[in-house]
Structure 1
Amino acid sequence: MKVSIHYYGRLAAKQGWRFDSTYDHKDEMGDPVPFLFVLGSGKVISGIEAAVKSMKVGGIRRVIIPPSQGYQNMSQEPIPPDVCFFDRQRLFTTIFNPTRLANGEGSTLGTLIFDIELVSARHP
């Protein structure tokens, strides 16, 4: 099933710092562009896919992704490795900052919060 979502992605730490949002990505008319993917394709973090599967169009849900489900390891690679719908470099530089890791903040900084709205769902 093809789905499109709008989302706000934030860190649980850093006062809920927003690292990305589909509402920030505009088309030529200035309208926000939803993120599109196929359920079961493995192109999104599993927690997001699981949430979307049980949502109805127009529904809104908050999903909390622990670091163990969001990243493979300290190599700064997300799960799945080719996910690229947000500014990975900006996010990972914040989460995996060597000073923060040395202070033991890595496990809390890596927790992600996504507020998701299911815009559409249709069979291909």
Structure 2
Amino acid sequence: MPPLIRRLPIPLLLLTACAGGSAVRTPIPEVTGDTKAISSLRYIDISFGTGALAEPRKCFYVHYTSWLPNGKKFDSSRVLTDKGQPREPVFFLQGAKQVIDGWDIGFEGMRVGGARRLIVPYQLGYGERGNPPVIPARATLTFDVELMAVADPVPRCPTWAEVSQRAP
């Protein structure tokens, strides 16, 4: 075998290892279940809740972890605060365009206590341009979401503290 051919795999491996930047990437965790679709959004139910149904125009309280197409985790509500405290779930009024479209439609049919993986195409996420510098253009994003509570929005979405005090 010519010497160049024997040495070629090593530089290729080094180039491949360096191409993704310095951040360590871990694969998105595997989940099992049937893949379903709402519009062009795909989802897999990880677990089924038994609480209140996620209905249109309700306030949803959600814990989430999100990944880029390359497997890099870019955000999570499960990360502890700087003081080592757990974070509260994020909340939004469903259908009010407070979140990406994939989230506005991705909780359909869920119940409180349920967990779901959302595979959100760029058209239902951050679009053609993405959200630089974190989310690249035309990125399909993966979210693991857990529906923690559902509440009426009158006159506004209650805070998590208000909702969690009502829980049985």
**What is the TM-score when the length of structure 1 is the normalising length?**
0.67
Residue 91 of structure 1 is matched in structure 2 by 134
Question: Which aligned pairs between 1:1-124 and structure 2 lie closer than 5 A?
Answer: 1-12=58-69, 14=70, 16-24=71-79, 26=81, 30-74=85-129, 76-77=130-131, 89-92=132-135, 95-96=136-137, 107=138, 110-124=139-153
SS in 1 for 2:78: helix
Query: Do the aligned residues in 1 keep the contact of 2:100 with 2:126 (CA within 8 Å)?
Result: no
Taking the aligned partners of 2:147 and 2:100, their CA distance within structure 1 comes to: 16
Deviation at 1:28, TM superposition (A): 6.0
Does the CA-based 8 Å contact 1:39-1:53 persist in structure 2? Answer: no
Higher helix share: 1
Instruction: Flag the 1:27–1:59 CA change in 2: closer, same or farther, 3 A.
Output: farther
SS in 2 for 1:68: helix
Instruction: Give the 3 Å change call, closer, same or farther, for CA 57–19 of structure 1 in structure 2.
Output: same
Structure 1 residue ranges, 4+ long, deviating more than 6 angstroms after superposition: none
User: What is the alpha-carbon distance in structure 2 between the residues aligned to residue 71 and residue 17 of structure 1?
Assistant: 17
Query: What percent of counterpart residues are identical?
Result: 32
Q: CA RMSD in A?
A: 2.1
**Of the two structures, which has the highest relative contact order with CA contacts closer than 8 Å and spacing of 6 or more?**
1
User: Counterpart of 1:48 in 2: which secondary structure?
Assistant: helix
1:73: Cα distance to partner?
2.2
Per the alignment, residue 100 of structure 1 pairs with none
Per-residue deviation, residues 2-31 of structure 1 (Å, max 9, x unmatched):
11100010013x2x1100001125386702
Please, which runs of 5 or more residues in structure 2 have no aligned partner?
1-57, 154-168
What TM-score do the two structures reach when normalised by structure 2?
0.51
Q: What are the ranges of 5 or more consecutive residues in structure 1 without an aligned counterpart? A: 78-88, 97-106
